[in-house]
Amino acid sequence: MSLVLDHVSYIYGEDTPLSMKALNDICLEIPDGQFIGIIGHTGSGKSTLVQHLNGLIKASRGHIYYNGEDIDGKEFDKKKLRSNVGLVFQYPEHQLFEIDVFSDVCFGPKNLGLPQEEVEARAKEALAQVGLSEEFFTQSPFELSGGQKRRAAIAGVLAMKPQVLILDEPTAGLDPKGRDEILNQIKKLQTETGMTILLVSHSMEDVAEYVDRIIVMNQGSVMFDDEPREVFRHYKELEEVGLAAPQVTYIMHALKEQGMLVDVDVTTIAEATEEIVKCLETLH
Amino acid sequence: MGIIKAKDVIYEYMRRDEEGNVEGITRAVDKVSLDINQGDFIAILGHNGSGKSTLAKHMNAILYPTEGTVWVDGKDTREEEELWNIRQSAGMVFQNPDNQIIGQVVEEDVGFGPENMGVPTKEIWERVEESLKAVGMYKFRKHSPNKLSGGQKQRVSIAGVLAMHPKCIILDEPTAMLDPNGRKEVIRAIRALNDVEKITVILITHYMEEIIYADKVYVMDDGKIAMQGTPREIFSQVEKLKSLRLDVPQVTLLAYELKKRGVDLPDGILTTEELVGALKQNRKG
């Protein structure tokens, strides 16, 4: 059970004067249950990449395999792929439209042709997964706060029971608490249900905190693909392509320059706290 | 009186059901008073729904107070004949650059504001040039805005406001949709406007590290001003900020966590240099 990209390229407007290569020979393997962060500056190909994974965009070259089957093969059921690989777009709350939260979340499973009972059971489960309690079920989605709207929209995708969940900047525009709430809930989903998560993000701090693996995109190619501390070790190269390391990594580098013997590959506040405390203790 | 002054401002709107019957009244801004000095860099923080954007929209007469008064450059925003003067004194930049750019060419987009104000052609071009230079986008003047990155587009939006020669510029989460580099570019441009051009800046953001250089920070909650002070005063109160759904910059949080573990550090550390300096002292002591 996995997604495999085999030499995938994508060219916009191929055979026209405006043709532009958006993805360039991408080879990736996405095994089950991983929490993956995808980072890259605007226009680096992140969104184009994730839209290939549920068949919204068809690769110009190369193949994509879902559980060993070519998703562009004649026999392949694309509709099933779209419910197995759920994609939450940027600002998904713009896609809310039903009169109340519960009906909105029911919309997806209802379209799968499931019996009403199953539809409602799924909607309830999905809303619980994003932490929206029953008091919200009958409210209009438009009366919720920004963070709640976002969670209702994510529930709509979860109700399709995807095995892979892709989120394109799910925290843009949310307040810090709202950011933490959404990311904690996604992390919980991954650990409790074994769902594969792909998180497209502009926040290096969030990525460092939550993911097991980071894929760095640059000019349509994979620039790095490794665990966070390995990727952020290349912070100078990341800066050259419009990215950065988490602020805490820079602090560790500055401390080291001042002669403190700290591990500079630290990427989270918790790790940095331990590291500095340890370093100070050995001194005293 | 400062460039923007609010006195006991209340803003209420009616919630209606599908038939248009009034369901209730929501008070989005609740008795806010503030006085912003010309040339200051002001930051407004607050969780989603705290009323900060509603308050900001009072600062260039997009919204009018239900009760109380807002003055922009000494003019009451409710005086209709002053509307265009007010909007020219206080310009606004929004979150999504794609919703704010209308021109086919960068310089044309920036010239739109002064052209509408009836500025003579020769002067329009002068203004376009100086505005684009101020945000570091002059060399892109002949480009199509479509081909720019998010940070570049947002800087063009800022130049568009600048070309109207405002005294004050209000930015409502201008970096929310940008990548780290775009965020850095925009914040650098905003700081330059304040430092070099002496334009009053009011920045609304969810990114705590963007406001450590502000002269004053207002924190909103439930339509009211819940906290106000310098960044150092505000960021010294980690627990209170967290209870208001906010946060502190990573370096401040790290210092706070270290303090909890018994490391002797001052409150409200804002920059890496400060933390490194303080830890150095610690090692000696």
Each residue's pLDDT tens digit in chain A (284 positions)? 589 999 999 998 888 888 889 999 999 999 999 999 999 988 889 989 999 998 999 999 999 999 999 999 988 998 889 889 999 988 888 888 899 999 999 999 999 899 999 999 999 999 998 989 999 999 999 888 878 899 999 999 999 999 999 999 999 888 999 899 999 999 999 999 999 999 999 999 999 999 999 999 999 999 999 999 999 999 999 999 989 999 999 999 999 998 888 999 999 999 999 999 998 888 76
Neighbours of B231 (CB within 10 A): 21
Name the phi and psi angles at A191, rounded to 5: -75, -35
Best B187, B219, B245, B253 residue to mutate vs chain A (most A CBs within 10 Å):
B245
CA A216, chain centre distance (Å): 13
Residues of A in contact with B50 (CB under 8 A): 175
Chain B contact set for A283 (CB, 8 A)? 283
Q: How far is CA B119 from CA A30, B106, B123, B162, in A?
A: 58, 18, 7, 14
| Mutation site, B16, B146, B181, interface A, largest A CB count within 10 A | B181
- Length of chain B in terms of residues written: 285
Q: How far apart are CA A256 and CA A244, in angstroms?
A: 18
Residue B50 near residue B223, CB atoms below 8 Å: yes
Phi and psi at A4, nearest 5°, equal: -125, 130
Q: pLDDT band for B96, please (50, 70, 90 cuts).
A: confident
Q: Hey, of A18, A20, A41, A264, which one would you mutate to test binding to chain B, going by the most B CBs within 10 A of its CB?
A: A41
CATH hierarchy code of domain B4-230:
3.40.50.300
Q: What is the predicted pLDDT for the residue at A1? A: 59
CA atoms within 13 A on the CB side of B2: 21
Q: pLDDT tens digits for B19-72?
A: 778 878 889 999 999 999 999 999 999 998 899 999 999 999 999 999 999 999
pLDDT for residue B79: 93
Of B219, B47, B221, nearest to A147 (Cα)? B47
Tell me what the mean pLDDT of segment B148-176 comes to. Answer: 92
Q: What is the DSSP string of A200-213?
A: E-S-HHHHHHH-SE
* Interface probe with A: pick from B53, B98, B254, most Cβ of A within 10 Å: B254
d(CA A266, CA B63): 47
Q: List the single range of A210-219, B142-151, B235-244 with lowest mean pLDDT.
A: B142-151
Structural tokens at position B210: 């963007």
Give chain A positions within 8 Å (CB) of B48: 145-147, 173-175, 178
The answer to whether the Cβ–Cβ distance between A277 and B48 falls below 8 Å is: no
Rounded CA separation A226/A234 (Å): 11
- Residue B150 has a pLDDT of 85
List chain A residues with CB under 8 Å of B47.
175, 177-178
Residue of A nearest to B248 (CA): A176
- Output the six-digit token pair for B151: 């940070």
* Residues B271, B212 contacting (CB under 8 angstroms): yes
Q: Contact A247/B272, CB-based, under 8 Å?
A: yes
- At B24, list the tokens: 């209730």
- The dihedral through the CA atoms of B49, A136, A82, A112 has a sign that is negative
**In this prediction, what percent of chain B has a pLDDT beyond 70?**
99
Q: Which chain B residue is nearest to residue A239, measuring alpha carbons?
A: B181
Mean pLDDT value across residues B113-119: 92
- A115 to chain B, any CB pair closer than 8 A? The answer is no
CB pairs under 8 A between A and B: 114
Residues A11 and B234: their CA atoms lie apart, in Å, by: 49
The two most distant CA atoms of chain A are separated, in Å, by 69
Measured between CB atoms, which of B46, B150, B258 is closest to A273? B258
**Chain B residues with beta carbon closer than 8 angstroms to that of A246:** 250
* Residues of chain A contacting B239 with CB distance shorter than 8 Å: none
Q: Who contacts A136 (Cβ-Cβ below 8 Å, separation ≥6)?
A: A101, A127, A144, A148, A152
Q: How many CB atoms lie within 10 A of CB A80?
A: 11
Q: For residue B36, which amino acid is it?
A: I
Residues 6+ apart with CB under 8 A from B30: B10, B51, B222, B223, B224
Give the chain B residue whose CA is nearest to the CA of A178: B245
Question: In Å, how far is A218's CA from the nearest CA of chain B?
Answer: 13
Supply the mean pLDDT for chain B: 92
* Contact call for A273 and B272, based on CB within 8 A: no
Q: Residue A284's pLDDT is what?
A: 66
Query: What does the pLDDT read at residue B14?
Result: 83
Q: Which residue of A has its CA nearest to B46?
A: A175
In the chain, the amino acid numbered A171 is T
Contact in structure between A129 and A153 (CB atoms under 8 Å): no
Per-residue burial over B181-210, b = 16 or more CB atoms within 10 Å of its CB, e = otherwise: bbbbbbbebbbebbeebebbbbbbbbbbbb
CB contact under 8 A, A280 and B173: no
DSSP A68: T
Query: Do A252 and A263 touch, CB atoms closer than 8 A?
Result: yes
User: Can you tell me which residue has the tokens 């940070």?
Assistant: B151
pLDDT of residue B224: 97
Identify from B25, B222, B250, B257 which residue to disrupt to test chain A contact, counting A C-beta atoms within 10 A and taking the largest count: B250
Q: Kindly indicate the confidence band of residue B285, based on its pLDDT and cuts at 50, 70 and 90.
A: low
Per-residue model confidence as pLDDT tens digits over B168-199:
999 999 998 888 888 998 999 999 999 998 99
Among candidates A193, A218, A268, which has minimal Cα distance to A41?
Answer: A218
Alpha-carbon distance of B1 to B35, in angstroms, equals: 7
Q: Do A175 and B181 touch (CB under 8 A)?
A: no
Whole-number pLDDT of residue B100: 84
Encoded tokens for B239: 């627990």
CA distance, residue A141 to nearest chain B CA (Å): 13
Q: How far apart are CA A46 and CA A56, in angstroms?
A: 14
User: Is any Cβ of chain B less than 8 angstroms from the Cβ of A144?
Assistant: no
CB-nearest to A273 from B257, B273, B276 is B257
Closest CA to B3 of B180, B285, B198, B245: B198
B15 band by pLDDT with thresholds 50, 70 and 90: confident
Q: Are B86 and B75 in contact (CB under 8 A)?
A: yes
Q: Which residue of A has its CA nearest to B253?
A: A269
